[in-house]
Amino acid sequence: MKRILIVTGQSGSGKSSALQVLEDLGYYCIDNLPLALLPEIVSKLDHENNLEQLALGVDVRSTQADLEEFDTVFEQLKKHGSVDVIYLSTSDGQLIARFSASRRPHPLSGRCKSLNECIQEEKSLLLPIQLRSTVNIDTTDKSVHDLKHTLLSKLGQSDKLILILQSFGYKHGIPLDADYVFDVRHLPNPHWDLKLRKLSGLDEPVQKFLVESDQVNEMYDDIHTFLNKWLPAFAEGHRHYLTVSIGCTGGQHRSVYIVDRLKKALEANWSIQILHREMKHWS
């Protein structure tokens, strides 16, 4: 067996949807088995089947003792192939809204007095698995389509680093699944020019406005130099992906421009995925 994915995370964060995406990608998927049984089942599958890709769904319904022994299970699974842990998380407010909309009980509802207590207790129980996670995805603002795109980007080819460049707006929240975040809110803002306000950092008038600023060019040069220096080290460390997020106030002009400029400069040497998180908010 070449690759094993353990898919877990907070209840309501999209684990079932992630497993469906992985099944479409050719993974053999198993969900809701007790952690303690996984090594034996994987060993049997590896011996009797010619499986190259296996995805295992794990959640808080495993016993607390099993969750606390996750490191042991993880090491046993590594005997059968490379193991990655995909951990899905969502903001507390969004989880509460999702459970309220679905009217489904939280798996820990019988042990806790309130939904918020369930959410906090689940985070604590899943911490041993989260600490082993190699792929972290925040699904707070993601649709099923967005989740599929993110999984495709972050899993990629195991022997080639994928650089994910993401623009975002601070007023919509910081992306929790970023490896590096650069703040460009101090740069000149095209928003205050009424002729540019409705455009984005992908439009030529906005790009012309920004490239004429020494401050913008210096900030771009610093980020570009940093990535040029350290991307080879990440690649040599067998990372599957690196997410670099650039943030301005609204995620429409400055951050989008910097991301687009970095893409053009780096795409000759690196596999790059682009995500403009706030595109749906652009005027």
Binding positions are 9-16, 59-62
List the binding residues for GTP.
Answer: 59-62
> Which residue in the block uniquely carries the two structure tokens 């009424």?
194
- CA 49/CA 56 separation, integer angstroms: 16
The annotated binding site for ATP is made up of 9-16
**Which is nearest to 245 in space by CA: 232, 229, 262?**
262
| Those residues with Cβ within 8 angstroms of residue 46's Cβ, 6 or more apart along the chain or in another chain | 1, 80, 81
DSSP-assigned letters across all residues of 141-159 = T--HHHHHHHHHHHHS-TT
Residue 8 C-alpha from the chain's centroid? 13
Give 17-42 as a DSSP string.
HHHHHHHHTT-EEEES--GGGHHHHH
Q: What CA–CA distance (Å, rounded) separates 78 from 84?
A: 10
- Note the maximum CA span of the chain: 66
Beta bridge partners of 136: 87
Q: Round to whole Å and give the CA distance between 167 and 257.
A: 9
Question: Could you identify the residue written with the tokens 């699944």?
Answer: 177
Q: How many CB atoms are closer than 10 A to CB 122?
A: 21
User: Which letter does DSSP use for residue 2 in this model?
Assistant: -
The answer to whether 195 and 204 are in contact (CB under 8 A) is no
The Cα 64–Cα 77 span in angstroms is 19
